[in-house]
């Protein structure tokens, strides 16, 4: 009963704030919900004990394990929905840059962010081990497909750059989670206890296993849907793919995020062309579009409400503001350096890297990973810094992305 009450409160809040945004603010859903839920949290914090609902909402947010809720449940649905609507023929054209940015770019960004943060923290009288700074670099480097995809729809971006950002965002969070978990194991066990071979095997198992699982689930669903023409049952099959995939992946230590991206691409492209009737195709895409909208609303309301329970220190706020610049620089370098090495820069317009840098939004995935840190990994510091970066990313970068795109492409 308590779980049902928790879900009811969150969905009700999401519905009210979504209404207020559409009715009055008229902002893109991600930005509007984030702004309104942030205002709600700030208002309750300022009111304090004068507003009895503040304590109740705090208890609601504390009862929900945000990291597990997002990484183990919501992420699979959101990534599958995003991949289902993605035209793989467009991704195939830029597969080299997409794969490189989602792998080499993520690892490069992790090193750049972790290295710079390690050297600036002593300026704030903080002594943080390098491995913990790398953990922060890993959790903040992936661009969030949930935030990116919803805002790109409004930005009027060119198909080439949209394909780049969309494709990279769909894959790099899965790679980012794998890199984060690898560094987390090293930090937990100690560098001396983890060999290079073990690290390589873990990375390969997570990535290859996740892709293989996604292909297998997509193929099974494709074969089942090919043999029937009953859209309610076929919608149910897609739900089973997501729930089954996100349940199976952790058991075998595969990347569930990558599995859902691959399964979504398979069903949304080969399945749509060869296994679905026109009616089924319509209903499946409409269903997953609705799921995507609802879960996006819930996610960004939760991100705003997390402010109620995040411990605040003014020093951490200053570090967060400094980290914003670090993240932007690291993002730009993680695109330019691989592009220069592999000569990808000759395939894109000159403005591509600036737009991809400013459009590389951070969101719920980074907050969830920060919240999963243990207390001895400087959890409070990195949670608040991550929150500041995500707020800037969604509210400032998200609001100005359309203007940046128009200015650079006119």
Q: Are 276 and 235 in contact (CB under 8 A)?
A: no
Q: Are 143 and 74 in contact (CB under 8 A)?
A: no
- Tell me the pLDDT band of 61, cut-offs 50, 70 and 90: confident
Taking every pair of C-alpha atoms in the chain, what is the biggest distance, in angstroms? 65
The answer to whether residue 345 scores a pLDDT higher than 60 is no
pLDDT in tens, 361-381: 898 889 989 989 988 999 999
Average pLDDT over residues 139-154: 76
The answer to whether residue 192 scores a pLDDT higher than 90 is no
User: Radius of gyration of the chain from Cα atoms?
Assistant: 21
Average pLDDT over residues 373-395: 93
Average pLDDT over residues 337-344: 82
pLDDT in tens, 238-252: 999 999 999 999 999
Residue 146's pLDDT is what?
A: 66
Residues 6+ apart with CB under 8 A from 71: 177, 365, 368, 369, 372
- Tell me the pLDDT band of 89, cut-offs 50, 70 and 90: confident
Intervals of CATH 1.20.1530.20 along the chain: 66-409
> Between 171 and 389, whose confidence is greater?
389
Which residue's structure tokens are 């739900």?
Answer: 239
pTM of the model: 0.90
Residue 353's pLDDT is what?
A: 86
Q: Are 409 and 351 in contact (CB under 8 A)?
A: yes
- Tell me the pLDDT band of 350, cut-offs 50, 70 and 90: low
The answer to whether residue 58 scores a pLDDT higher than 90 is no
Which residue's structure tokens are 């290079």?
Answer: 196
Residue 45's pLDDT is what?
A: 85
The answer to whether residue 86 scores a pLDDT higher than 60 is yes
The answer to whether residue 53 scores a pLDDT higher than 80 is no
State the Cα–Cα distance between residues 10 and 18, nearest whole angstrom: 12
- Tell me the pLDDT band of 153, cut-offs 50, 70 and 90: low
Mean pLDDT, rounded, of the chain: 88
State the Cα–Cα distance between residues 302 and 407, nearest whole angstrom: 33
Answer yes or no: CATH 1.20.1530.20 is held by domain 66-409. Answer: yes
Lowest-pLDDT choice from 300-314, 324-338, 341-355 = 341-355
Q: Are 235 and 222 in contact (CB under 8 A)?
A: no
Q: Are 298 and 10 in contact (CB under 8 A)?
A: yes
Q: Are 350 and 158 in contact (CB under 8 A)?
A: no
- Tell me the pLDDT band of 194, cut-offs 50, 70 and 90: low
Query: In the chain, pLDDT over 90 holds for what percent of residues?
Result: 48
Residue 30's pLDDT is what?
A: 84
Q: Are 72 and 336 in contact (CB under 8 A)?
A: no
pLDDT in tens, 207-223: 899 999 999 999 999 99
Q: Are 15 and 36 in contact (CB under 8 A)?
A: no
According to DSSP, residue 343 is labeled T
The answer to whether residue 158 scores a pLDDT higher than 80 is no
């Amino acid at each position: 009963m308590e779980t049902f009450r928790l879900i009811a409160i969150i969905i009700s809040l999401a519905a009210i704030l979504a209404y207020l945004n559409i009715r009055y603010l008229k902002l893109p859903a991600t930005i509007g919900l984030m702004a309104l839920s942030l205002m709600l949290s700030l208002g309750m914090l300022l009111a304090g004990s004068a507003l009895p609902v503040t304590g109740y909402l705090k208890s609601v947010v504390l009862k929900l394990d945000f990291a597990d809720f997002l990484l183990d449940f919501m992420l699979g649905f959101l990534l599958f929905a995003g991949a289902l609507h993605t035209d793989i023929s467009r991704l195939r054209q830029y597969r080299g840059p997409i794969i490189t940015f989602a792998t080499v770019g993520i690892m490069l960004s992790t090193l750049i962010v972790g290295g710079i943060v390690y050297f600036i923290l002593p300026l704030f009288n903080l002594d943080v081990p390098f491995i913990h700074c790398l953990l922060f670099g890993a959790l903040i480097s992936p661009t969030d497909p949930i935030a990116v995809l919803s805002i790109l729809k409004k930005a009027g971006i060119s198909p080439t750059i949209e394909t780049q950002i969309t494709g990279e965002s769909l894959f790099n969070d899965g790679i980012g989670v794998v890199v984060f978990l690898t560094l987390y194991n090293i930090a937990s066990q100690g560098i001396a206890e983890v060999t290079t071979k073990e690290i390589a095997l873990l990375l390969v198992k997570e990535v290859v296993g996740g892709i293989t699982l996604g292909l297998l689930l997509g193929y099974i669903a494709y074969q089942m849907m090919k043999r029937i023409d009953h859209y309610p049952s076929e919608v149910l099959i897609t739900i089973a793919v997501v729930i089954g995939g996100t349940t199976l992946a952790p058991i075998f230590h595969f990347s569930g995020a990558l599995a859902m991206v691959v399964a979504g691409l398979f069903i949304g492209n080969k399945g749509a062309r060869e296994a679905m009737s026109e009616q089924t195709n319509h209903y499946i895409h409409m269903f997953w579009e609705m799921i995507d909208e609802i879960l996006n609303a819930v996610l960004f309301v939760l991100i705003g409400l997390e402010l109620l329970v995040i411990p605040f220190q003014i020093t951490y706020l200053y570090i967060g503001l400094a980290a914003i610049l670090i993240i932007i620089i690291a993002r730009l370098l993680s695109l330019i350096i691989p592009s220069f090495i592999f000569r990808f820069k000759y395939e894109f317009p000159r403005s591509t890297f600036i737009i991809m840098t400013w459009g590389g939004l951070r969101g719920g995935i980074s907050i969830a990973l920060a919240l999963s840190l243990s207390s001895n990994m400087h959890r409070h510091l990195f949670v608040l810094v991550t929150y500041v970066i995500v707020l800037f990313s969604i509210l400032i970068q998200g609001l100005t992305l359309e203007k940046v795109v128009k200015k650079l492409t006119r």
